[in-house]
Structure formats: C-alpha cells, structure tokens
Structure 1
Amino acid sequence: MSTPDYSRRTIEDATPEVVSVNDVTIDVETNVLVAGGGGTGLVAALAASERTNGTVTVLEKSDRLGGNTSLSTGMIPAAGTRFQRDAGIEETADDMARDILEKNDYEADEEMVRHLCAESKHLVHWLVDDWDITLRLVDDFKYPQHSAYRMHAPPGRNGEHLIDELAARIEADDDIELLTNTPVTKLVADGDAVAGAVAGETHEEVIGAGKVVLATDGFAGNRRMVENNCGEIADALYFGSDGNTGDGIRWGAALDAEIAYMDSFQGHATVVQGTGALSTYAVIMNGGVLVNEDGERFGNEAKGYSALAIDVVDQPGGVGYELFDERIFEKLRGEFDDFDEAVDLGSYVSAPDIETLAAELGCDPSATAAALESYNEAVRADEPDSVGRVDGRAVLEPPFYGATIVGSLFHTQGGLLVDEHGRVLQSDGSVVDNLYAGGGTAAGISGHGADGYLSGNGLTTALGLGRLAGRHAGDSLEV
C-alpha cells in the first residue's frame, strides 16, 4: 500500500484525520502522547514527566529530532530573569509584551501575548535550574525593535545545541519513551474527546492516551497550504524542517478546533544564495546593509528579517546583496555557529574597496558606492538614512565583505487557538478534551502576514506553550 502524501493535504480536503475509538483496536497505551520531537514536543515531554508518575511517549515522524528549533538560533526571549538582573537590566513582562504587540500593530491575541511574556522568565529559570539546560544572556546586540537585551542563548547561539541538551534529558528519563521515524497519521476520538492516535511508518499501531500534545509544527513545508494561506511568500526558498506539513492543524480542524492567523509567517531576508547558509541577522544589526542589483537600498533593514524577506523576494531576480565590513566579520566569528558555517561554506567574498566587491557580487559598482557613502553620511550625522533606518547602524569602512542573499520562508505562524494551558479550543470557545497544542501547530503571536513577526516569537510559543501544555497534561492525569 502506498504512503499517503500528507504534504499535499489541506484543511479543506475531505480526508479523514480522526477515527472513532469504536472503529479501532488499541494496541498499546501511554499516559501522555506527544506528537512531534522538536522544541515544543521535547519541552512538553519534560514538563509532563515531572508532573505525573505515568509514561510519556514522544513520536517524531523524521529520523532526527529538532524540527525548526534546531534550525533556529535557539535564543529564548524572556523578561525579568535573574540573568538580566545580574547584567543590570530591569525589564518587565509588560515591556516585552509591548514590543511584541507594537510590532504586529496589536493584531495578535493580547491576552495570550501577555500570558506568555509573564511565563517567559519561569520558562528560562525552569530550563536552567530544573533541567540543566545551558543558556546565557545575549548582551552584545539586539534584534530589531527589542527594547532590551532579553535573548537567552544556547552555546554557539545555535538551536541544535538546545535540542541536543533537551534530547539528552529526555533519554535520561526512564518515564519518557522516544521514537523517531514514527509519524502520527490520525487522531483517535471517543466522542468529542481525544483518546489517542494512530502512528507508524511501515506498520501502524493504535496508541491509547490520556492526553495528547500536538507539537507537529506548522505548514511551511506543505506547498498547497502555503499557496492557499501565505501566497506572497509561496515562491520563496523554503528554509525549514521537512516535517512541517500542517498535520496537527488538520487534525484539530477535523475536531472543529478554531483556527486563526493562517496568513502569518516568519520569513528571513538573508539566506545566502548558492550555499544555502543563513547569514545571521547580527550582520545587519551591527551595521550591515542590503542593496539590489542596481546598487540601491530597497528597504529599512531595521524593520526585521521577516518583514524584509518580502522586499528581497520583490527585487529583480529575487536577490539582494548584503554588504558589511571587516569589523563586523571579526566580531561575529566564533560567536554564531551560523556565521561560522556560512564562512566555512564560502558564502562571503571580500574586497579592498566597495566598487570591487560590488563587481564581484554582481551589483552596480558606482551606484553601490554611492549608496554606501549616503548611508555612512547619515550615520555620521546621526540622521535617518535613505530608507529611514536609525537603529543598529555603524560607519562601514574597507575592507568590505558581502554575499548574494535571497528571501526565504522559515515557518508559519497560524494554527489552532489554545487557552492559557495550551488546550485546543473549539469554535464555540470550549476545549477539545485531552488535546493540547503548541509551537507552529498553535496560533502564534505575530498577528497577520510577515511584518508582525518579532525575533523570538517562534520559540516563545514553541517552548512556552510546550511547557504549559506538558504541565497541565501531567497535572490533570489520574494515574
């Protein structure tokens, strides 16, 4: 029997995503079933395991853990942590919430934003204190529109290190069972309540479960769903996990779950053409700029890498050119694994003057030189530059470095509405009994489109809702 192509399904398809418990035979049982082994799923499993004496089972559809969290910087935004206080930073959850809401023009669910921001310091302290996860405050640069240093990063500022540590804690916990290459394919329902799932790659089993946490991420890897909901980024490079095919969102929809913000997504403006490496946005926020093939600035880089991704996609050839100098190059080496990888892959070219660099990259040399001089003059005068940028600037001086970059789609931000515990909500406001969701499967906090995404929003909902869902699932079990 051929395997269904789940990546082509949409929430409009009349494909059964939920089966009745009366129509199947339970093969094995667990207390908490977590569908997905990315950041949301691993955090949910740890949170559930410490709240119940029962068994927690994590099922990952691919052969490796991590999902989009492993492709991220792994930086967790949090307000009011002791790490901030030790650095002399006094920030409240309201400060963090204000930044998020102002970025998306208050289009996001304000109550959920404030809830996750209030929980953010507890998330970071819990990871560090209870699970010995390595996190350090980033205090050498801010992402666009962050009013304070609030990012807490793993070693190398790389999500793979965060996933590796979470996975190690999972493997050391005798009450958590972890299986890879085991996709969940359907949910099992007992009336209006979820009672388990069907899972397996070559041999399906029916797993009975007291609670189910959907941590299958979003739908950025499902081209049809992207075209239907996020058309403006549909033709861009996809830079995300292959497993993001919208499974959990479809299962929730089949249970009459409320779905929101399906047009919301996180793009990225600086993926290097050719090597496919991510050129960390720290290049930009330390003073780097972008031009197009005509040597013209085309967008305010300080509005953020997600919003700027659309501007890059709209340029001739769908490419832009990232320009920076040796000061930035040396500052970032050894600080960001992404940057070091990009360097090792030969992503950047260098030249003693801007005209030579532009010629090597393929953008107009004289116009590029004029754009750079205009930028430097604005920085020296402490005035807005030609694109209105005032943040994260510095005079760029030779020798110069550069790369050809493309706009990309990282992950979607729309999904199932959940309550303060991560429980999935139906269209009438009631909960779907025994069902939770987080990360890309749940509705995000970025409003609509790409412009509302603030750096860190993804892990705020992934890890924040993962912890809240796992805690509540464990607490509410009768074991």
Structure 2
Amino acid sequence: MSAEQRTLEDGASEIVDAASVEWDVETDVLVAGGGGTGLVAALVASEAPDLQVTVLEKTDEVGGNTSLSTGMIPAAGTRFQREAGIEETPEDMMRDVMEKNGGEADEAMVRRLCTESANLIHYLVDEWDVSLSLVDDFRYPKHSEYRMHAPPGRNGANLVAELRKRVKGASNIELLTNAPVTKLVAEEGAVVGCVAGERREEAIACERVILATDGFAGNKRMVTEWTEGLEDALYFGADGNTGDGIRWGAHLGGELACMDAYQGHASVAYQTGALSTYAVIMNGGIMVNADGERFGDESAGYSEFAVDVLRQPGGVAYELFDERIFRRLEGAFDDFDEAVELGAYVRGDTVAELADRYGFDAAAAEAAVERYNDAVEAGEPDGTGREDGTHVLEPPFYGAEVTGALFHTQGGLVVDEYARVLRADGSIVENLYAGGGTAVGISGHGAGGYLSGNGLTAALGLGRLAGIHARESLAE
C-alpha cells in the first residue's frame, strides 16, 4: 500500500513518539507544504528575524492547487474597491458565502476570514509587493459585488511565482522541494517536530508546525470513503493532495468536519484537458448536452454544475458562446489563451456547424439558443431559471466539448480563529496549525456550497493567521 493512498481507517498511525526520536536538525517554524497556504504562512512568520522558518514541499514544484487556480482572492472593503467606487463591508461578503453554503459552514470562521480578507490583500500588496488588481469586468456566480483581486493573467501560477520569489529572498526561510513530511513527532499530545525526506528521512525538531498539505482529492481511497460518486471523476488538482495533513491531525485527536465537501468544475475541455474558464459562461455562454438541450442554470455555480455535466450522456456537455465573448476573454485569462492554443474551441458560422463537428443535436441546440436569446431580449429568466443574461448570442459561434472535474476537497481539520487545530472537546492540539485544504473550508457540505474564491480565502487567509500566531507566540 503506498503512502499516497492511506486512509484513516488503515489503523497505521503516522505519529511518532518523541521518546523514540533522535533529532537530526532543528528549526523554529516548520511549514509542511509549499502551496498558497504554506508560502504565505512562511512569509508572515519570517517577519520575526530571529525565527528560522523551513518550508518542505513533497513535490518538485511549489504552488499546489493555488498554481492551478485563477489566483483570484475575494476580499471586501479593500482600498482597490474604494478606488473603483465600490463600498463594501465584510458582512456583505459573509452574506454571500453563507447563502451559497446554505448556512452549513461555521459562521464564526466565515466572519473571521471575511473580516480579515481586506487585511490579507493589503498585506500581500504593501508588505511583499505582490501584484494584485481588482477584477471589475465580470462576477462569478452568486457574488453580489466585484471583490476578486487577481494576479497578472488571472492565473494562480503567476501569484505563486511572486510568492516563491519573496520566500526565496527571505534570509530566514529555507524552502526545500522533493522533501515530503511523512510523520509528525509528538510528546504528550503536543507536536514537537516531524520526520521528513524522500530518499533519506530526517527527524526535524521545531516549535511550531503549520500543516499546508492541502486536501485529499488526489487520494482515490479517501475520495471514495468521504465523497459520494466522485471516485471516477477527472481529477484536475495538484498531485500532492493526498490527505496527509488531515490524517496526521486526526491521529492527534483533531476534529474533522464537512469531509464530503469539495469544489468541482463544470468546464474542463474533454479532449485536451485544458480548463475552459467559467468566464465563458458568466459572460453569456450556455451549455447543451448530446441531445442539444440545456440541462440546468449554468450560473448556479461551476462547482455544483460539474455534477450536472457528469450526469449527461457520456459525462460531457458542449459550451456554446459567440465572437463577442471570445474577444472579451482573449488576452484577459491565461487559462483561456492556453485552451485556445490547445485547440479546445471550435469556430462555426452556425450552431449547426458546431453540432456537426461535435455530434450533438443541431435542431435542438439551435432552439435552445433561440429560447435563451428571447429571454435575454425580454429581460426575463429563461426556461432553466437563469436570469443573468445581458447579451444575445450571435454568429459566428464558438463551441467546446467539456466535462466535469474534481478540483479539490473542502473538508478537513477544525481550527480556531488563529488556525490552531482543535479537538472535539474544544482543546487545542498544541503547536499545530492547519490551513487551506487541510483545514475545513467555508463551503459547508457537498459541491453546492462552494462560492468561487472560497478555496483561496481559506488557503491564504488561514496561512496568514497561522503565521501571525506562530510568530507572536514564539516571541512571548
């Protein structure tokens, strides 16, 4: 059995008693995982110049799921919003998050992250010169205001590149890749170090451990155990997401919550595997199935709509949009440009031409486009209940064959307002923090509670809070 496919039910503890360990090296703050959570946590902790911070990434590249995302971070009350004439409060953002998750997420944690969201953006920009700008030309489903703050190209890889550069430039941060943490070391329930290494394991003593190993979407055994019907879904996340930190925390008594929660995506190009940004849909595109029929309100959200796509014949659907949308997205999204380069989109003068190319029913699809256009012109909801249409679809058209995919899980360890791991009785697992996919997110249960940006809200937000507490507690 490979370590990457372990589950909590295996009974093999990944915790080592400190009495049995001979330490090889030591550090002050050990960050397990070099994705968005880990990189931000390391930068924050490193602001105490006397602290040594070590980041261990199990794969050969940092970034994790943050690299695969758009890099858009939602935040309410930023100066960038005010400069754009937008007056918003954290309560506004919190309301959207809670409405999307149906009130199933921890309200106190949602409030905490929304309240800290503007501080996160200002911190990254002002303290570390990270390039972020307000996205004010479109909104993802169920966001009531323009609050996304994006890196260049609206590409998470660009955000990670800047964070990595800042980490490498910090004299008291050591960043190692191909250096997986394999076990935690504990003494009387308190974490005092870890065991790490790919070819040769070393025992590393430390004062604080921040778990930034993300979720378990890359571990099919855990996916099968916790999420219904997703074991055969296309996985579009980072390779390192095998549930390690979640298992370690649970073995130490950490409480788990919302383990059935995940973020899906409804528009991954079926043939090329490229992500077709959902901005295609939110700018007025629609989807039909092999019968040429719409099968739901695409604007409900790309996470839950992924399940709807997978339920269609062959597990695929067909995006239909037009030249106006193509030109609007071209050059604005790196993901879109990459999909274009890979041939994910086909152009046709008519819907029937696209139908002939992809094999869906032409007459039904033409009728679907006509009904959608009629609703847009009338300013009324269409037959699916969709009511965000502002432009009719006109020739020439573009199409893409897409499928639903699993991006990342949203369940994990319960943490407090400082990202410290909690047991079921409310006590703290001493010296242990968790963020991103390792900690329970703010999306409630299942796929439907995911509001775009929830992942980075928890990843970078909890990373920052963990870094602050680790740094300040060690200074006491």
What is aligned with 1:57? 54
Match of 2:451 among 440, 450, 454: 454
Partner Cα distance (2:359, 2:148) in 1:
35
Mapped contact 1:25–1:206 kept (Cα < 8 A): yes
The structural deviation recorded for 1:51 is 3.4
Would you say 1:68 and 2:84 are equivalent positions? no
Partner Cα distance (1:369, 1:70) in 2:
38
Q: Deviations over 1:246-280 (max 9, x none)?
A: 00000001001000000000000000011100000
What SS class does the counterpart of residue 386 from structure 1 fall into? coil
Q: Deviations over 1:364-419 (max 9, x none)?
A: 00100011101100111111111100025420000000000000000000000000
User: Aligned partner of 2:100: which letter?
Assistant: K
The structural deviation recorded for 1:299 is 1.2
Match of 1:83 among 52, 61, 80: 80
Mapped contact 2:49–2:172 kept (Cα < 8 A): no
Partner Cα distance (1:391, 1:53) in 2:
53
Match of 1:463 among 452, 460, 464: 460
Q: Deviations over 1:77-135 (max 9, x none)?
A: 00000000000000100000000000011000001001100000000000000000000
Mapped contact 2:8–2:247 kept (Cα < 8 A): yes
Partner Cα distance (2:24, 2:229) in 1:
44
Mapped contact 1:302–1:392 kept (Cα < 8 A): no
What is aligned with 1:36? 33
Mapped contact 2:54–2:173 kept (Cα < 8 A): yes
What is aligned with 2:145? 148
Partner Cα distance (1:277, 1:244) in 2:
20
Would you say 1:281 and 2:278 are equivalent positions? yes
Partner Cα distance (2:287, 2:158) in 1:
30
Query: Unaligned regions of 5+ residues in structure 2, if any?
Result: none
What is aligned with 2:288? 291
Mapped contact 1:284–1:392 kept (Cα < 8 A): no
Match of 2:369 among 367, 372, 381: 372
Match of 1:313 among 306, 310, 313: 310
TM-score (norm 2): 0.99
* Aligned pairs for 1:353-432 within 5 A: 353-432=350-429
Match of 2:101 among 101, 104, 108: 104
What is aligned with 2:255? 258
Partner Cα distance (2:475, 2:322) in 1:
60
Mapped contact 1:52–1:477 kept (Cα < 8 A): no
Partner Cα distance (2:154, 2:171) in 1:
29
Which segments of structure 1 move beyond 6 Å, counting only runs of 4 or more? none
Mapped contact 2:233–2:406 kept (Cα < 8 A): yes
What is aligned with 1:476? 473
Would you say 1:440 and 2:437 are equivalent positions? yes
Mapped contact 2:90–2:114 kept (Cα < 8 A): yes
Partner Cα distance (1:153, 1:301) in 2:
23
Partner Cα distance (2:186, 2:423) in 1:
15
Match of 1:130 among 127, 130, 147: 127
Q: Deviations over 1:451-477 (max 9, x none)?
A: 000000000000000000011001111
Moved more, 358-367 or 406-415: 358-367
User: Aligned partner of 2:53: which letter?
Assistant: V
Mapped contact 1:446–1:453 kept (Cα < 8 A): yes
Mapped contact 1:233–1:310 kept (Cα < 8 A): no
Mapped contact 1:94–1:114 kept (Cα < 8 A): yes
Q: Deviations over 1:133-191 (max 9, x none)?
A: 00000000000010000000000000000000000000000100000000000000011
Partner Cα distance (1:82, 1:312) in 2:
38
Q: Deviations over 1:35-56 (max 9, x none)?
A: 0000000000001011351100
Partner Cα distance (1:372, 1:261) in 2:
38
Mapped contact 2:376–2:389 kept (Cα < 8 A): no
CA RMSD of the aligned region, Å? 0.9
Match of 2:333 among 336, 347, 351: 336
The structural deviation recorded for 1:22 is 0.3
Match of 2:242 among 242, 245, 258: 245
**Identity among equivalent pairs (%):** 67
Partner Cα distance (2:443, 2:210) in 1:
22
The structural deviation recorded for 1:192 is 1.2
What SS class does the counterpart of residue 226 from structure 1 fall into? helix
What SS class does the counterpart of residue 411 from structure 1 fall into? strand
What is aligned with 1:116? 113
What is aligned with 1:166? 163
Match of 2:3 among 6, 10, 17: 6
Q: Deviations over 1:293-317 (max 9, x none)?
A: 0000001111110010000010010
Partner Cα distance (2:463, 2:171) in 1:
20
Partner Cα distance (1:143, 1:197) in 2:
40
TM-score (norm 1): 0.98
Partner Cα distance (2:343, 2:457) in 1:
33
Partner Cα distance (2:297, 2:209) in 1:
43
Mapped contact 2:23–2:205 kept (Cα < 8 A): yes
Mapped contact 1:212–1:434 kept (Cα < 8 A): yes
Match of 2:172 among 171, 175, 194: 175
Would you say 1:203 and 2:200 are equivalent positions? yes
User: Aligned partner of 1:210: which letter?
Assistant: E
Partner Cα distance (2:388, 2:206) in 1:
50
The structural deviation recorded for 1:16 is 1.7
What SS class does the counterpart of residue 363 from structure 1 fall into? coil
Partner Cα distance (2:49, 2:189) in 1:
24
What SS class does the counterpart of residue 189 from structure 1 fall into? strand
